[in-house]
A and B are shown apart, each in its own frame.
Chain A
Amino acid sequence: MKFGVVRFPGSCDDIDALQAARRVGDAVLLWHTDHDLQGVDAVIVPGGFSYGDYLRAGAIARFAPVMAEVEEFARSGGLVLGICNGFQVLCEAGLLPGALLTNVSLKFVFRQVDVEVVRGLGPFTGACEAGERLSIPVKHTTGRFHAPDPELDRLEASGQVLLRYAPGHNPNGSLRDIAGVCNESGNVFGLMPHPEHAVDPLGGSVDGLKIFESMRADVEQHVLA
């Protein structure tokens, strides 16, 4: 199992994601100007401030050369995980539904929050139980998930909402407490909380590991199949 972590100029949580992925498999960095995914089994678009994010979070990174490969990889069913800025990039790229707006507080917020697993199935949350609570930190200014009501109804009906902030834990005003959503085919997932920062007991929580373990199990299952 080999993860690839995209590195844009301005990525901040790239090494964190790399180290987290290495707890469950191999992992390499993918440079933003390269048209080469190095044969990875899954791509992680990490957190940070790609290209400074001075225009709109993720708006420039979505045009990075490597993103053409990532989009192709996603269309062919490859697993793509977007964390925080990565979630924003994948929304900008049209790989995920909805959009991320400025927090209701208008401020950056760091907080250890509880999220509830909505669906304990599939490549990203398969190692979790439905209803299970995970303690994972958030840290962002632009994390308020938004979509029109009919779209939100559709996302919920089709099981694309994988994570919700637990009651009282919504840090940014996300509609319907949505913390993470996947695409229709379920192989692209974005979330604002940082699972790569909840993998070491010394850091206070290891709940984030379940996301990476789910991905490994899914990839290995497909290899076996």
Chain B
Amino acid sequence: MSSSTYSLDERHRQLGLTDEEYARILDRLGRAPNDVELAMLSLMWSEHCGYKHSRRLLRRLPKEGRHVLLGPGENAGAVDVGGGLAVAFKVESHNHPSAVEPFQGAATGVGGILRDVFAVGARPIAVLDSLRFGEPSVSERSRYLLDRAVAGIGHYGNSIGVPTVGGEIYFEPSYEQNCLVNAMCLGLAPHERLIRSAAAGPGNVVVLLGALTGRDGIGGASVLASAELGEGDEAKRPSVQIGDPFTEKKLLECCLELLDRDLLVSLQDLGAAGLTSAASEMAGGGGVGLTIDLCQIPLREADMEPFEIMVSESQERMLCVARPECVGALLDVCERWEVLATTIGCVTDGDSLQVLHRGNVVADVPVRVLIDDCPLYDLQPVPPSSDLYRASEAVLSGDESVADTLLALLRSSNLASRRPVFEQYDPIVQSRTVRRPDEADAAVLMLPNGSAIAVSIDGNGRRVACDPRRGAAEAVYECSANLACVGAEPLGLTNCLNFGNPEKSHVAWQLTEAVEGLAGACEALGVPVVGGNVSLYNEAPTGPIFPTPVVGMVGKLPNAARPGRMGFALTGDSIALVGPFEPSLVGSELAKLRGEAPVGELPAIDAGRIRIAHQAVRARVRSGAFRSAHDVAEGGVAATLAECCIAGGLGATVRLPEWLDPFGEAPGRGFIVSGPAEALAGFVVIGEVGGEALRVEGLLDLAVSELRDARDSGLAGWV
């Protein structure tokens, strides 16, 4: 297209809006938007901010529960954990920025989710990460993304003094072009400090806190996060934000002190779509208008255009509303923390977001047009007619011995020790951590009243690719199983739905089925969804990523002194298999290593029996009857036994039931536990702890040191 044929009417397409959406804007405004307004609307109506392809679907998820204090719609959800305390939490994606610039993409992913949590008044106390990359053994790009994303997460979390207590990583070829970086944060607050984002009180003052506003991250939500990546993405690098954990550390402490002194009416972080989104959300939530004067906003570059100021995604900024009489005290607190604080506007009794620049009104948009009028689309789900995903390269032929198969599994990228990764994170700062990575299936953090919370994050895309409904449900059950292993009862969950392009019918089908699976599992366990995030368009020219719903679940346990462990603890203890565990090789790690495509029917889910098994494990871990508990996940019972041996530094002698495939999988349904023989009465006892080798009768006999060496070698040198 030559420049002469470029007409003004096509501005909207460059900003990612369709012709129909632009017509809708003309209709709702009753006029053509100016450049500033169109920039604002294009962001608020982007998939990333407006959830236009997922909002209707998300209504299916159960959100009610007796522990819920804040539900979806706030910056983060929150549940009651007793003792007058609340735990706020949320998981969010930063996939597209991380694919373009992994260090800053991952770092600002952490920074962003931390702000979501302290925006509701909670002190961030833990971070977890869920990462997906291409196969590191064959992909230099994936090794680079892994190394830099891990460094970025550590850089931000370590520097700001929030422990990274857990996480998970999977490697699959489908993530080669679209890596996933999902970060989850938990925060702790007394109930009375929880604050909402809704602005209130016409005449109240709007104050911008934190960093200068610059040109970084312009269009991040629309350009990066709401379209497929393709050739020439280097040019999008300026859309990636740059993180400054020191500025955020001061901002965090400052905001919490402002809340403790009761100086704020409402608080909101600036994330995707920057000031536009923050101001719209605050006004929309409170049913009020806001007027913002751009000339008051401290800029990093003096010549920024009004639209750039409105959509900048510069990090480490918060927006708050305060009563006029509190502003003096507010500014004093900010000065003490060396946090820049500027009055930039006021709450009005109108219904529009009005933006001033040098005395002129440069935007004036009804808040409902920005938020409520965003079009919502029904998906057009159709099951794929042929297999979507190619088989991976075969590493095993199927002729190997059981011992060699187990060693190959332990060395494989998805089962190998994560130590090279988690050693780059500080898991103990703030002195609450009682179970660190590798000690138990879930991280455990103590609370001031002697109780504790536990948290786990899970999601196996390969299994969801086989069967989106059962695979997604398994993520919920596996989280709950992980919590059971430390003795914790689930209180609530957050999810991040990472999928391909929802405008394609087969992706729409994956998404619809997965949400149905999540909803069913949440209902069966009685665990509400308190918040989450959707990341779509994770698609390369070669096809979509594995459908990857990631579930983060928070639970509580009564006694911080008695959380469970995964490692075998005592020679002579009996070992039992607990749960309705009927595994198969469909979607398993062994199937992957044998070069099989992710197709087939996953084992059935008997929700009632799963729930009973989780309760049984939870109760016996709490009482100390089980001295170890570990859920059976990737690599089946054989890999699980090996992990229990490695973690405990003890061997085991086991005889497996005839019907059980040692490498079959059925996540969330089975546990390997150990304890005194009398504590295991009534369960399927399969052996005994002791010695220096794992012996599975008729199948294998391997020294624990050999198992450990295999598991340690997997990621060594790649990160």
Nearest A residue (CB) for B339: A9
A197 at the interface (CB under 8 A from B): yes
Q: Is the CB of B151 within 8 A of A9?
A: no
* Assembled-state Cα–Cα distance A20/B246 (Å): 24
* Assembled-state Cα–Cα distance A203/B425 (Å): 17
B560 at the interface (CB under 8 A from A): yes
* Assembled-state Cα–Cα distance A27/B338 (Å): 25
Mask: chain A, 106-135; 1 = CB below 8 Å from B; 0 = not: 011111000000000000000000000000
Q: Is the CB of B430 within 8 A of A15?
A: yes
* Assembled-state Cα–Cα distance A178/B429 (Å): 23
Which residues on A sit within 8 Å (CB–CB) of B423?
109-111
B446 at the interface (CB under 8 A from A): yes
Q: Is the CB of B425 within 8 A of A110?
A: yes
Mask: chain A, 1-43; 1 = CB below 8 Å from B; 0 = not: 0000000011111011001100000000000000000000000
A: number of interface residues (CB 8 Å): 30
Q: Is the CB of B434 within 8 A of A202?
A: yes
Given that A9-B338, A109-B424, A202-B560 are known contacts, is A19 also in contact with B431, CB under 8 Å in the complex? Answer: yes
Mask: chain A, 40-55; 1 = CB below 8 Å from B; 0 = not: 0000000111011110
B505 at the interface (CB under 8 A from A): no
Q: Is the CB of A107 within 8 A of B429?
A: no
Mask: chain B, 129-169; 1 = CB below 8 Å from A; 0 = not: 00000000000000000000001001100111100000000
Nearest A residue (CB) for B154: A108
B: number of interface residues (CB 8 Å): 31
Q: Nearest chain A CB to B566's CB is how many angstroms away? A: 15
Q: Is the CB of A13 within 8 A of B161?
A: yes
Given that A107-B424, A110-B426 are known contacts, is A12 also in contact with B160, CB under 8 Å in the complex? Answer: yes
Q: Is the CB of A10 within 8 A of B428?
A: no
Q: Is the CB of B431 within 8 A of A200?
A: yes
Which residues on B sit within 8 Å (CB–CB) of A202?
434, 446, 560-561
Q: Is the CB of A16 within 8 A of B159?
A: no
Mask: chain B, 400-437; 1 = CB below 8 Å from A; 0 = not: 00000000000000000000001111111111011010
Which residues on B sit within 8 Å (CB–CB) of A13?
161, 429
* Assembled-state Cα–Cα distance A137/B431 (Å): 12
* Assembled-state Cα–Cα distance A54/B422 (Å): 23
Which residues on B sit within 8 Å (CB–CB) of A176?
none
Q: Is the CB of A52 within 8 A of B159?
A: yes
Q: Is the CB of A9 within 8 A of B249?
A: yes
Given that A19-B431, A202-B561 are known contacts, is A48 also in contact with B161, CB under 8 Å in the complex? Answer: yes
Given that A10-B246, A52-B159, A52-B246 are known contacts, is A16 also in contact with B431, CB under 8 Å in the complex? Answer: yes
* Assembled-state Cα–Cα distance A16/B125 (Å): 13
Q: Is the CB of B446 within 8 A of A139?
A: no
Candidates A12, A107, A110, A196; contact of B427 at CB < 8 Å = A110
Which residues on B sit within 8 Å (CB–CB) of A109?
423-424
B244 at the interface (CB under 8 A from A): yes
B245 at the interface (CB under 8 A from A): yes
User: In this complex, which of A9, A109, A111, A202 has the most chain B Cβ atoms within 10 angstroms of its Cβ?
Assistant: A202
Q: Nearest chain B CB to A62's CB is how many angstroms away? A: 16
Nearest B residue (CB) for A33: B336
Q: Is the CB of B337 within 8 A of A12?
A: no
Which residues on B sit within 8 Å (CB–CB) of A52?
159, 244-247
Q: Nearest chain B CB to A18's CB is how many angstroms away? A: 10
* Assembled-state Cα–Cα distance A111/B431 (Å): 15
Which residues on B sit within 8 Å (CB–CB) of A197?
428-429, 431
Nearest A residue (CB) for B560: A202
Nearest B residue (CB) for A19: B431
Which residues, 217 to 262 on B, are CB-close (under 8 Å) to A?
A: 244-247, 249-250
* Assembled-state Cα–Cα distance A57/B200 (Å): 44
* Assembled-state Cα–Cα distance A54/B247 (Å): 12
Q: Is the CB of B426 within 8 A of A10?
A: no
Which residues on A sit within 8 Å (CB–CB) of B151?
107
* Assembled-state Cα–Cα distance A19/B337 (Å): 22
Nearest B residue (CB) for A111: B423
* Assembled-state Cα–Cα distance A107/B158 (Å): 12
Candidates A19, A20, A110, A203; contact of B424 at CB < 8 Å = A110
Q: Nearest chain B CB to A198's CB is how many angstroms away? A: 9
Q: Nearest chain A CB to B672's CB is how many angstroms away? A: 23
Given that A10-B246, A49-B246 are known contacts, is A203 also in contact with B159, CB under 8 Å in the complex? Answer: no
Which residues on A sit within 8 Å (CB–CB) of B159?
10, 12, 49, 52-53
Which residues on A sit within 8 Å (CB–CB) of B561?
202
Which residues on B sit within 8 Å (CB–CB) of A51?
246
Q: Is the CB of A9 within 8 A of B429?
A: no
Q: Is the CB of B250 within 8 A of A139?
A: no
Which residues on A sit within 8 Å (CB–CB) of B422?
110
Which residues on B sit within 8 Å (CB–CB) of A9?
246, 249-250, 337-338
* Assembled-state Cα–Cα distance A49/B249 (Å): 10
Nearest A residue (CB) for B254: A9
* Assembled-state Cα–Cα distance A119/B431 (Å): 28
* Assembled-state Cα–Cα distance A203/B432 (Å): 8
Given that A13-B161, A110-B426 are known contacts, is A203 also in contact with B154, CB under 8 Å in the complex? Answer: no
* Assembled-state Cα–Cα distance A9/B161 (Å): 11
Which residues on A sit within 8 Å (CB–CB) of B446?
202
Which residues, 184 to 214 on A, are CB-close (under 8 Å) to B?
A: 194, 196-197, 200, 202-204
Given that A52-B159, A109-B423, A203-B433 are known contacts, is A139 also in contact with B428, CB under 8 Å in the complex? Answer: yes
13 residue pairs from A and B, CB less than 8 Å apart: A12-B158, A52-B244, A52-B246, A108-B158, A108-B426, A110-B422, A110-B425, A110-B427, A137-B428, A139-B426, A139-B428, A139-B429, A197-B429
The 3 A-B pairs at the shortest CB distance, nearest first, are namely: A12-B161, A52-B246, A49-B159
A12-B159, A108-B424, A202-B434 known; 20 new pairs, CB 8 Å cut-off, are A9-B337, A12-B160, A12-B249, A13-B429, A16-B429, A16-B431, A19-B431, A20-B431, A49-B159, A52-B244, A52-B245, A53-B246, A107-B424, A108-B425, A109-B424, A110-B425, A110-B426, A197-B431, A203-B434, A204-B436
